Structure 1
Amino acid sequence: MSKKLGVCIITGALIAINAAYAVPAMQVFKSNAVAVASTEVTTSQAQPDEKDAVTLSVSRATIGGTDIIAPTSIKVDANSTVWSVLQKALDDKNLDYEYTYNRKNNALYVTAIDGIKAGANGTTSGWMFNVNGKVIEDSPNNIKAVEGDKIEWKYTKDGGKDIGTN
């Protein structure tokens, strides 16, 4: 196991433990999205020249099935984060998600997407993300999403080995 992956797994575990004590209950969201005049999420692949957009995908390939969200173009602004981009896409698709949040550390950990939960396929299974192919060792709410980024969320069964993070 690489040192970076070990740090990522330990950080995720600590965030989950801290969040369990800092937040009395897991946050569960069932989207009640309302249509608005300006659509922020489209189902087309983002093009490099597309203004103010990132490409987001959510994959469960390690456990079979199709992508939960195929590569999708999402508009971003100066306040957008990896987390806010994921929330926009999940809400638009009316998909459930769960996460824990630790206020003390401003750390967020995604514990489930579309019913697929961290820990359901072993102690090192869960959701990981990368930006432009690089695994980030920080909370998704702390990472800015900027025009042209490619954000990928992937479910791993073995701490990232099966999705090529080490």
Structure 2
Amino acid sequence: MVGLGVGIDYVLFIVTRYREALREGLTVPDAIGRANATAGLAVVFAGGTVVIAILGLANWQRWGNHVSNHAVKYSIGTIVLLVALTAPVLWIHLGYPDQSNDPPESTARQAYDLLTAGFGPARRKTPPLSTPSTACDPRFFLHCSNGLKPYTSAAP
């Protein structure tokens, strides 16, 4: 159906060019020559593209049938491929970049090493997160009589 529709469209394209040439006063052989010269090459190229596309669809259908007939094998293969591609995520180390990534001879790295030696590895952790305390409503902090602070600190 697609081929028929496209074929009719291309014929109308050439006929339109032919009629335009006749209205301009050209003879029938000259009008045919101009229609083929202006629209003919475009129609041949586009028609060839459509033929290739239709053949591709036929091959795609054949490939789809092949995969459907061997669904278990392709499913296992796909799962193995996806696991192999996602396996490096298991060894990923996320964190904030800091001066420990700098070369050891840089002054920023040396200062970082001194801070770490002086204050310990906790210096490299992310800042604590403050969350509202459930023991005392922060909106009524002045009325809290239990002495709890309105915010508590929690590490991420």
Bucket of the pairwise TM-score, normalised by the shorter protein: under 0.3
Q: TM-score, normalised by structure 1?
A: 0.20
Q: Greater RCO between the two (CA within 8 Å, min separation 6)?
A: 1
More strand by proportion, 1 or 2?
1
More helix by proportion, 1 or 2?
2
Q: TM-score, normalised by structure 2?
A: 0.21
